[in-house]
Amino acid sequence: MKLKCVVVGTGRCGTVYTARFLTSVGMPCGHESVFDYRGLDFAIARLDGHLPIETSDCSLHSHVDGAHDPIPVWINNKDIVAESSYLAAPFLSHSCLKDTKIIHQVRNPVNIINSFVNYLCYFEHRHPALWEPAKTYETFIYSHVPELYWDMSQIERCVLYYVRWNQLIEKQLEGRNYLRHKVEDPNDELFEYLDIPKQSDFFNDKESNTFRRQGVVRFHLGQLPTGGLKDEFLEMSNRYGYKTGLKYLTI
């Protein structure tokens, strides 16, 4: 099987939404259906037909206010021709994705960091695999960003992940024609890049796969020590088109 398109980002950037959007306009797209925490060999086995292609459990449930309620099935695994998964990031330059169109999806970094820290409770520990049950997705992330094992706060670790994961994507895509897409923007450029006739009727619920919880403390720049990481974060956020002044981070 040859994937027509892969959507990739940091996670918590709307990959479930985009999978459902693409499916609704005629490009059946799974979510973590090929690339998951088990890595490249597992993904290739799926592409070669040796393992079943199955979209993620999280994309088939609602998670608002701690719920895990099933939603109507929106994808037939047998129809999948595209993939939306942040876990594909380390493998974008592999030959299995040669000629596959790549969408680097970004989202307001404040919302990404809030979601990881406040709702998923990621990046709390220096060695997530030592905690029971082992956090398999975090362990995968740490294996590709070993700086995360260093001693730092949860916020610093999450910001470091945001910067390094996007840098990893950029490095994997050097010299390649791809699309960077802000999930908050209209989908016109997706239609054009994927050569899909523009349509007016499509899945457009950008709150899908949203995690919410009351009483959380929103991330703001004051939580980051002055220095290299903060500068890298600001540079990347601004380059991706997001205003990161203090007033935007405390709304």
pLDDT for 9 beyond 50? yes
Host H or E run for residue 104: strand 101-106
pLDDT at 138: 94
Q: What percent of the chain has pLDDT over 90?
A: 77
- Rounded to whole angstroms, the Cα distance separating 192 from 166 reads 23
pLDDT for 119 beyond 50? yes
45: burial class by Cβ within 10 Å (0-12, 13-18, 19+)? middle
- Rounded to whole angstroms, the Cα distance separating 117 from 219 reads 9
> How does pLDDT run across 36-68, given as a tens digit for each residue?
999 999 999 999 999 999 999 999 998 777 778
pLDDT at 151: 95
- For the segment 123-132, the average pLDDT, to the nearest whole number, is 84
> How does pLDDT run across 75-97, given as a tens digit for each residue?
999 999 999 999 999 999 999 99
pLDDT at 198: 94
What's the structural domain count of the chain?
A: 1
- What CATH number does the domain containing 227 carry? 3.40.50
Alpha helix positions (H), 145-200:
154-172, 188-193
The boundaries of the domain holding residue 87 are 5-249
- For the segment 189-208, the average pLDDT, to the nearest whole number, is 93
- For the segment 149-153, the average pLDDT, to the nearest whole number, is 95
Q: What percent of the chain has pLDDT over 70?
A: 93
pLDDT for 69 beyond 70? yes
pLDDT at 29: 98
Which of the residue ranges 91-105, 130-144, 169-183 would you say has the lowest mean pLDDT?
A: 130-144
pLDDT at 212: 64
- Rounded to whole angstroms, the Cα distance separating 217 from 137 reads 24
Higher pLDDT residue, 246 or 71? 71
pLDDT at 251: 34
- Rounded to whole angstroms, the Cα distance separating 49 from 13 reads 29
Query: Mean pLDDT for the chain?
Result: 92
The CA distances from residue 102 to 50, 115, 145, 202, in Å, are 24, 24, 21, 21
pLDDT at 191: 98
